[in-house]
Amino acid sequence: MYKRLILNGQEILLLPEKAVYIPAEEMLVISDWHLGKLAHFRQEGVLVPFVPVANELDRLGKLISMYKVDCVVFLGDLFHSRLNGEWHEFVQYIGQFPEIRFVLTKGNHDILPAEALADVKLEVLDELVINGGIVLSHEPVSQLTSSMTNLVGHIHPGCVVHVKGRQRFRLPCFLLDNNILTLPAFGKWTGLHIVKNKGNNQVFAVVDDAVLEV
């Protein structure tokens, strides 16, 4: 069950799949996927589980099948580090969707060489501005006016939810702080930066198949 927000007069759906859908733009937005991270660690000799990248790509495919998608925007840190085979699988995968525009707003981990991006169905930008004064970028843009809303990633926000029996859970979340909406990391191997509800912001936790304000 998604959470519906209205930002700058634009309907924004916060999805439990840790993504955003903007119906008027037929746009799917995800952030901080960090594809290739496990393969990078294995190359460095770190013992991490082998998880086929196809499992991750299927997560994107399911969202594309669930919503009418004309454009997919990756809010930075799409690929974790140096080039490895998972990048080539990603390139082949998005090539299956010739009717969809794919955009990357470059993040600090997006360090692939220019030749790796050649002939790839992916536009690389610093930021993307859409109707209604909504700006999409990896980190908050400078000189953001009060009439604009900025969708960002980068920090991998999470929150702590307390339940009965003195139990508590660390969960990914969306954070709306004034006119900046921070998305949770789409990647499964990213960790969490715990944020707190300060009274002047809103925290929306991803709880199983729902997004709930906490």
- The full set of domain ranges for the chain reads 3-213
Expressed in angstroms, the distance from the first to the final Cα of the chain is 15
User: What pLDDT is stored for residue 134 in this prediction?
Assistant: 94
The answer to whether 103 and 55 are in contact (CB under 8 A) is no
Look at strands 193-194 and 180-182 and give their pairing. Answer: unpaired
- pLDDT at 190 (0 to 100): 76
Confidence at residue 191, expressed as pLDDT on a 0 to 100 scale = 79
pLDDT value at 127 more than 90: yes
Is 80's pLDDT higher than 80?
A: no
Question: What is the CATH T-level fold of the domain 3-213, as seen in this structure?
Answer: Purple Acid Phosphatase; chain A, domain 2 (3.60.21)
Tokens linked to 161: 């939810």
- pLDDT single digits (tens) 159-211: 998 766 677 788 999 999 989 999 999 987 677 889 988 778 999 999 989 99
- How large is the average pLDDT for residues 125-153? 91
pLDDT of residue 63: 96
pLDDT at 155: 93
Helix axes 85-94, 53-66, angle to 10 degrees: 20
Q: So what's the pLDDT on residue 192? A: 82
Distance from C-alpha of 156 to C-alpha of 112, rounded to nearest angstrom = 21
* CB-based contact 209:14 (threshold 8 Å): no
Measured from the Cβ of residue 130, the count of other Cβ atoms closer than 10 Å reads: 18
Per-residue confidence (pLDDT) for residue 200, from 0 to 100: 81
Give me the residues paired with residue 114 across strands.
none
Assessment of whether the complete model's pTM goes beyond 0.75: yes
> Whole-angstrom Cα distance, residue 183 to residue 41?
25
Of the candidates 183, 158, 179, which has an alpha carbon nearest to the alpha carbon of residue 17?
A: 183
Q: Evaluate whether 172 touches 184 at the Cβ level (below 8 Å).
A: yes
